[in-house]
Structure 1
Amino acid sequence: MPAATDLPLLCPVCSDPLGFTNPTEAGPARLACPSRHSFDAARQGYFNLLVGRGTPFEADSAAMVESRFNFLAAGHYRPLADALAAAVVPCLSPQEPAVLDSGTGTGQYLRVLLDTAAARGCKPAAVGLDISKFALRRAARLNPDAVTLVWDVWRRLPLADNAVDAVTVVFAPRNAAEFSRVLRPGGRLMVVTPRKGHLAGLAAVAGMLAIEEGKDHRLAEAMAGHFDLDESINIDIPLALTRAEAADLAFMGPAGHHLDRAAIYGNLQEQLEPIRAEALFRLHIFRPKGSGAA
């Protein structure tokens, strides 16, 4: 159970506040509201708040999650995680700091953020959301100091208004209205997207999806009703990969929903090791409209 138990979580059934019930030998940790709606933690530590119809969106499979966890655990994208953490930590309030990682996946970006904050004397409350139970099994184990929730970001988020200092979104859907609602005045939304040319050489061989034209323009349009862009930071990461690592990289993303990892690995057999590629990212830092510049 996270050390911070005062997160302003809301019941997905009635919108009353959710609070923690201490785990006992007789049962798991539990989130419960005054109206007696309750949600037991899974064995791995996450909570599933999706009720009713669940979600129509396709979650990442166990195999995709394994590839992502292995690739990120090897440190290939650590410069991106460090850049994200460096942008978030200065935004955290000195009193009751809090962050939402929307689309937390396996939780590795959030882990770096929390460790970076702790090294600077800050221990924020943290919430990680994702629709993949397979990903959250790993995220909850990696981040026992965060609240890890199965949730669909296109629904109203199970957080009170003005709940967090920062929202981070790394290669995940973006609900601008809800992010604006849960951010505190002066908070920031951090969105990471791939840039044109990202993994271009590898993508052509492995069958990965190409980066769409006009991606930044569409992001700006989607955010425009609720956010203004403060800053964009480019992050370039040269990669030297084994075939297995390259297959993990290709399979852990959108291509994993329509390609088999074995087929991807087969496509790479004629490639000499190390397989070189360049990851090209952009970190977009948004502020809520009307909040003024930092």
Structure 2
Amino acid sequence: MTLPAPVVAALRCSVCGDPVELTGRALRCARAHAFDLAKQGYVNLLHAKVPSGTADTAEMVAARVEFLGAGHYAGLADALARRAAELRPELVVDAGAGTGYHLARVLDEVSGAHGLALDVSALALRRAARAHERIGAAVWNLWEPWPVASGSAELVLNVFAPRNGAEFARVLRPGGRLLVVSPQPAHLRELASVADLLEVDGRKEERLDAALAGHFAPVSRTEHTERLTLSPVDVRRAVLMGPNAHHPERLTRLGDVTEPLDVTASFLLSEYRRLP
């Protein structure tokens, strides 16, 4: 596994900001800073460990792979892919890509496009690097300035992930698009009967618009809601694949689930255009 050439061209040295080249199994800049590729094909550009409870754990990654692999969020992935196909980007940056599930679906739909998967979890990016032949994956903290060239992408995805509006705008070309997916208050609300889940911020969209003001103009906002029937195993996966997994004291009742559970999947897909 290696990094696709268009992804290498978009990456920058996380020490000095210079362009990098792929030499053997390492990214190197002209100042001799080097970053080795992992055997799974991703590159770690971080300089320090991230705070505990920030990155996905092995258990969270495994739960997400199994849950998404069962197709429960296929409708959302298809909606992203359809919109991306209309935009016809050459490079897609997935900010908070996780295991690369949504980015891979977008690349399936957009022939010839390449994807850069950014995430703070190396464990998740082991999966993302192998999710599609046109994905390149790099470990990075999204709250820090990204090691990505300015104006290098036509599309940024942000699915249930941290939102760095300034960096969204910087890496996008003028007129480029940002697609943000956030959970609605009704999302998986039925799981509250079996776990003390973290609450969804009811003002999330308002806060998002405020954070992007000056960089982006809103284009559209579409709600995607459907009913899912989850097996007891998938109920546990749905809870354990997200931030609730960092709070095991809230999840003591999950073992009591023995029957399938009907739940609501409710997302909001917001599209923004980068201002000149």
Asked whether the two chains share a fold, i.e. TM above 0.5, the reply is: yes
Provide the residue aligned with 1:282 in structure 2: 268
Deviations 1:224-282 (A, max 9, x none): 1311211001111210110000110011111111127983531423xx32x10010000
In structure 1, how many angstroms separate the alpha carbons of the residues matched to 2:13 and 2:19?
A: 6
Deviations 1:31-85 (A, max 9, x none): 111111111111211100001x343361111101100110001111000001011
In structure 2, how many angstroms separate the alpha carbons of the residues matched to 1:225 and 1:114?
A: 29
Q: 1:64 aligns with which of 52, 60, 66?
A: 60
Does structure 2 retain, via aligned residues, the 8 Å contact 1:203–1:209?
A: no
Deviations 1:164-196 (A, max 9, x none): 000000000010001101101210011000112
Amino acid at match of 1:129: L
In structure 1, how many angstroms separate the alpha carbons of the residues matched to 2:19 and 2:155?
A: 21
Give the secondary-structure state (helix, strand or coil) at the position aligned to 1:7: helix
In structure 2, how many angstroms separate the alpha carbons of the residues matched to 1:247 and 1:265?
A: 6
In structure 1, how many angstroms separate the alpha carbons of the residues matched to 2:95 and 2:9?
A: 15
Give the secondary-structure state (helix, strand or coil) at the position aligned to 2:233: helix
In structure 2, how many angstroms separate the alpha carbons of the residues matched to 1:181 and 1:173?
A: 16
In structure 1, how many angstroms separate the alpha carbons of the residues matched to 2:91 and 2:159?
A: 17
Q: 1:172 aligns with which of 161, 167, 192?
A: 161
Structure 2: runs of 5+ lacking an equivalent: none
Give the secondary-structure state (helix, strand or coil) at the position aligned to 2:130: helix
Q: 2:77 aligns with which of 72, 81, 88?
A: 81
Give the secondary-structure state (helix, strand or coil) at the position aligned to 2:201: coil
Structure 1: runs of 5+ lacking an equivalent: 23-28
Q: 1:265 to 1:130 in 2, by over 3 A?
A: same
Where in structure 2 are the equivalents of 1:246-257 lying within 5 Å?
A: 246-257=235-246
Provide the residue aligned with 1:134 in structure 2: 123
In structure 2, how many angstroms separate the alpha carbons of the residues matched to 1:194 and 1:156?
A: 26
Does structure 1 retain, via aligned residues, the 8 Å contact 2:9–2:19?
A: no
Give the secondary-structure state (helix, strand or coil) at the position aligned to 1:113: helix
Give the secondary-structure state (helix, strand or coil) at the position aligned to 1:142: coil
Bigger mean CA offset, 201-210 vs 237-246:
201-210
Provide the residue aligned with 1:21 in structure 2: 23
Give the secondary-structure state (helix, strand or coil) at the position aligned to 1:85: helix
Q: 1:175 to 1:203 in 2, by over 3 A?
A: same
Give the secondary-structure state (helix, strand or coil) at the position aligned to 2:163: coil
In structure 1, how many angstroms separate the alpha carbons of the residues matched to 2:26 and 2:131?
A: 19
Shift of 1:213: 2.1
**Among the aligned pairs, what percent are the same residue?**
41
Does structure 1 retain, via aligned residues, the 8 Å contact 2:175–2:275?
A: no
Q: 2:36 aligns with which of 14, 19, 40?
A: 40
Deviations 1:63-113 (A, max 9, x none): 0110011000111100000101111222234xxx11100100011111101
Does structure 1 retain, via aligned residues, the 8 Å contact 2:3–2:137?
A: no
- The TM-score, its normalising length taken from structure 1, stands at 0.88
Whether 1:101 aligns to 2:94 is yes
Deviations 1:12-38 (A, max 9, x none): 01111011124xxxxxx2111111111
Q: 1:260 to 1:245 in 2, by over 3 A?
A: farther
Q: 1:199 to 1:55 in 2, by over 3 A?
A: same
In structure 2, how many angstroms separate the alpha carbons of the residues matched to 1:211 and 1:261?
A: 15
In structure 2, how many angstroms separate the alpha carbons of the residues matched to 1:232 and 1:267?
A: 37
In structure 2, how many angstroms separate the alpha carbons of the residues matched to 1:268 and 1:64?
A: 19
Provide the residue aligned with 1:115 in structure 2: 108
Does structure 1 retain, via aligned residues, the 8 Å contact 2:156–2:178?
A: yes
Where in structure 2 are the equivalents of 1:194-273 lying within 5 Å?
A: 194-259=183-248, 263-269=252-258, 272-273=259-260
Shift of 1:216: 1.3
**TM-align CA RMSD:** 1.7
Amino acid at match of 1:250: V
In structure 1, how many angstroms separate the alpha carbons of the residues matched to 2:249 and 2:105?
A: 30
Moved over 6 A (4+): none
Task: Give the number of aligned pairs.
Answer: 273
In structure 2, how many angstroms separate the alpha carbons of the residues matched to 1:181 and 1:187?
A: 10
In structure 2, how many angstroms separate the alpha carbons of the residues matched to 1:20 and 1:143?
A: 19
